[in-house]
Amino acid sequence: MEVHFSPDVETRLQQVAVANGKDAEQLVKETVARMLENQARFIAGVQKGIEQADRGELIEHKEMLDRIDRLFQS
């Protein structure tokens, strides 16, 4: 597979790669692999939420806000 980037993007990739001690190809491969892993985790999380909702495992809006507040206070 070949991917072509604009000259500006290639320059920026090169700069980021050098700053991280990698070559641009390695950086792109690692970044795409990480993005695909994140996408798979996201899809699995959404599916889990849908399944929980289908089973009626829901919480009220206020409880969700309280949980979020506790997460940010930690």
Task: Tell me the per-residue pLDDT of 13-71, one tens digit each, with 9 for 90 and over.
Answer: 999 999 999 999 999 999 999 999 999 999 999 999 999 999 999 999 999 999 999 99
Q: What integer pLDDT is reported at residue 35 of this predicted model?
A: 98
Confidence of residue 74 (pLDDT cuts 50, 70, 90): confident
Give the whole-angstrom CA distance, residue 43 versus residue 37.
10
Sequence-distant (6+) residues with CB within 8 A of 26 are 17
Sequence-distant (6+) residues with CB within 8 A of 14 are 24
State pTM to two decimals.
0.72
